[in-house]
């Protein structure tokens, strides 16, 4: 009986322990690490990796308040000031997008040269880390800073995979993602076709850059004309807002509704223009 009682007590104790461990004190599962936010990715694509999302938000709020105060002191119209404050709030994001598009176009022009340098280095017998590090001095000017950081990190740590991950984050470019992953696979599994793959990729990138540059040149004047057409009414409004009769009209409920309706129409027309004239962009599927 004592043995049976001891066995029952042991089973009961184990059961209580399992129930206790399954409660709030149970070990918490480690959450998967989240990647950078969409806004942070956009900042990296614009070459502003030293700026985070919080700083960009603070800049938006500060610029919006500054525009609000300046326009309010100039015109005295609260409604007009709020509208232009909204424009000031959105201006940093628009600027980031413009810088990202400009950087993407610059990288599109120089990637073929960088891939040719990598292919030549591989054919010359250099290792992959040495070939990538060589781009810090022999590569295109716009690509040298991230590859310089890669070379310094690889010399200090020797971990090729981790350095490739940070290089991919610094480049923040679809073509850079493909090149980095190609080099990672070549490093891990080996292969003698890396030089041929890089040469094929370089020729494809040259053809894509040539066709895209021609299309962007043809549609550039249309886009600029549309931007001018959207901005012109608001410039006229800012000039008219210095007159007392205009201030009284736009501070009324009807004037406020007119301003909001005009802003909505301009925004919708501008977004529609961008969507219609937008060229297909590479997506970072390997980030």
CB 212 within 8 A of CB 108: yes
Distance CA(234)–CA(260), nearest Å, equals 12
**15: pLDDT confidence band, cut at 50, 70 and 90?**
low
Report how far residue 251's alpha carbon sits from residue 267's, in angstroms, rounded to the nearest whole number: 22
Place 234 in a pLDDT band, splitting at 50, 70 and 90: confident
Q: Is the pLDDT of residue 32 over 50?
A: no
Q: Is the pLDDT of residue 100 over 80?
A: yes
In this prediction, residue 26 has a pLDDT band, given cuts at 50, 70 and 90, of very low
Q: Which of 115-129, 179-193, 263-277 is the most confident on average?
A: 115-129
Residue 235 lies in a domain: yes
What values do phi and psi take at 94, rounded to 5? -65, -40
Within a domain: 206: yes
Average pLDDT, the chain: 78
Q: Could you tell me if residue 25 is inside a domain?
A: no
Where on the phi/psi map is residue 213: left (φ > 0), alpha (ψ -120 to 50), or beta?
alpha
Domain presence at residue 3: no
Residue 16, in any domain of the structure: no
Higher local confidence (pLDDT), 262 or 14? 262
| Domain of residue 164, residue span | 40-276
Q: Answer yes or no: is 1 within a domain.
A: no
Tell me which of 28-42, 54-68, 120-134, 136-150 is least confident. Answer: 28-42
pLDDT of residue 30: 43
> What is the predicted pLDDT for the residue at 36?
65
pLDDT at 52 over 60: yes
Does residue 34 sit within a domain?
Answer: no
The number of distinct structural domains making up the chain is 1
**pLDDT range class, residue 33, cuts 50, 70, 90:** very low
Domain-embedded: residue 100: yes
Q: How far is CA 79 from CA 82, 90, 137, 185, 260, in A?
A: 5, 17, 54, 58, 10
Give the mean pLDDT of 253-278: 80
């Amino acid at each position: 009986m004592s043995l049976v009682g001891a066995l029952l007590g042991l089973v009961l104790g184990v059961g209580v322990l399992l129930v206790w461990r399954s409660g709030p004190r149970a070990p918490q599962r480690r959450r998967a690490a989240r990647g950078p936010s969409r806004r942070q990715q956009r900042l990296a694509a614009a070459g502003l990796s030293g700026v985070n999302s919080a700083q960009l938000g603070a800049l938006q709020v500060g610029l919006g308040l500054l525009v609000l105060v300046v326009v309010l002191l100039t015109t005295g119209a609260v409604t007009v000031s709020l509208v232009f404050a909204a424009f000031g709030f959105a201006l940093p994001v628009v600027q980031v997008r413009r810088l990202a598009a400009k950087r993407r176009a610059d990288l599109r022009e120089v990637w073929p040269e960088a891939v040719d340098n990598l292919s030549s280095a591989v054919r010359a017998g250099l290792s992959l880390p040495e070939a990538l590090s060589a781009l810090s001095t022999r590569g295109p000017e716009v690509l040298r800073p991230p590859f310089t950081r890669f070379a310094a990190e690889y010399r200090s740590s020797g971990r090729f995979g981790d350095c490739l991950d940070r290089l991919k984050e610094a480049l923040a470019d679809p073509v850079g993602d493909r090149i980095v992953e190609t080099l990672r696979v070549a490093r891990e599994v080996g292969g003698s076709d890396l030089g041929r793959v890089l040469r094929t990729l370089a020729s494809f990138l040259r053809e894509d850059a040539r066709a895209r540059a021609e299309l962007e040149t043809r549609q550039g004047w249309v886009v600029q004309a549309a931007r001018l057409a959207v901005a012109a009414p608001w410039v006229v409004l800012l000039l008219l807002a210095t007159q007392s009769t205009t201030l009284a009209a736009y501070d009324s409920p009807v004037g406020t509704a007119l301003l909001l309706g005009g802003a909505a129409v301009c925004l919708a027309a501008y977004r529609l223009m961008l969507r219609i004239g937008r060229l297909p962009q590479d997506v970072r599927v390997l980030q």
